[in-house]
Amino acid sequence: MPLGRLMQGKPHADTPGVTIATPRAYELFGALCFAGRRGRVFARLAELSGAVPGDRVLDVGCGTGYLTRHMAARIGPKGAVTGVDPSPPVLDYARGRNRRPGSAPCDYREGVAEALDLPDASFDTVVTSLMLHHLPEELRPMALREMYRVLRPGGRLLVAEFRPPKSRIGRHLVHSGAGDAMAHHRVDLLDALVTDAGFELTGRGDLRPWLSYVQAQRTR
């Protein structure tokens, strides 16, 4: 059985998405997978989001709040970050982390990407990292449309996802460690997913070791 499956929660009443139930194991897994670069990579994601001091930021599928806290540091004490995830154990873990001096407050809420319980146009920046591959493919467009809805016109979106290795052996290793959804994740479909939801694509790239990202804007 892939190691990743040991971290999964039981089926959730509100979503067919695969939830994480063991925050400490997830943090350890994350630290190992990024081989000492996790902090740098996520600080860079926060930078790439384009968020500025004072922004209202939403992190969809925030998990243990790793990116959420980097976003909070970036936007400073006058901003505010909301993290949404369906899994109570990861949210409890995130709530238990200390607020870094000079950071924005983080508010963690139970919820699902495909039906966000948040008002229209209420955020300046929306970010999501490593969440989409936890959703069945048919729900991903709905999740992107929800991100569009809650973003104000002119607001920015950053989507970061796992980029599977190109080699068969590499994908085999990912499959054994984390499962099929990661080993065969189609990051090449991100652009279309984002533009089909109404966003204008503003950038894309890769971050070593494993991430691809797209940057986009809600123009209207």
Residues that bind ligand SAM (CB under 6 A): 15, 17-20, 30, 60-63, 66-67, 85-87, 90, 112-114, 129-131, 134-135
Closer residue to ligand SAM (CB): 162 or 199: 162
Q: How far is the CB of 9 from ligand SAM (least distance, A)?
A: 7
Nearest to ligand SAM by Cβ — which residue?
17
Please identify, using beta-carbon distances, which residue of 87 and 212 lies nearer to ligand SAM.
87
Q: How far is the CB of 43 from ligand SAM (least distance, A)?
A: 13
Smallest gap, in angstroms, from Cβ of residue 49 to ligand SAM? 13
Residue number, 154 or 209, with CB nearest to ligand SAM: 209
DSSP string for residues in 152-167? EEEEEEEEEEE---SS
Cα–Cα distance for residue pair 32/48, rounded to 1 Å = 23
Contact indicator for 74, 67 with CB cutoff of 8 Å = no
**CA-wise closest residue to 112 among 41, 13, 15:** 15
Compute the least distance from the CB of residue 146 to ligand SAM, in Å. Answer: 9
SS3 call for 112: strand
Q: How far is the CB of 220 from ligand SAM (least distance, A)?
A: 25
Q: C-alpha distances in angstroms, 131 versus 100, 116, 141? A: 24, 14, 13
Q: Which is nearer to ligand SAM, 13 or 78 (CB)?
A: 13
**Structure-derived torsion over alpha carbons of residues 9, 11, 15, 17, reported in degrees to the nearest 10:** 50
Complex with ligand SAM: residue 119 or 153, whichever CB lies closer: 119
Peptide bond before residue 23 is cis, with ω within 30 degrees of 0? no
Non-local (6+) Cβ contacts of 160 within 8 A are 45, 67, 127, 128, 129, 130, 207, 211, 212, 213
Q: Which is nearer to ligand SAM, 50 or 63 (CB)?
A: 63
Least Cβ distance, residue 16 to ligand SAM (angstroms): 8
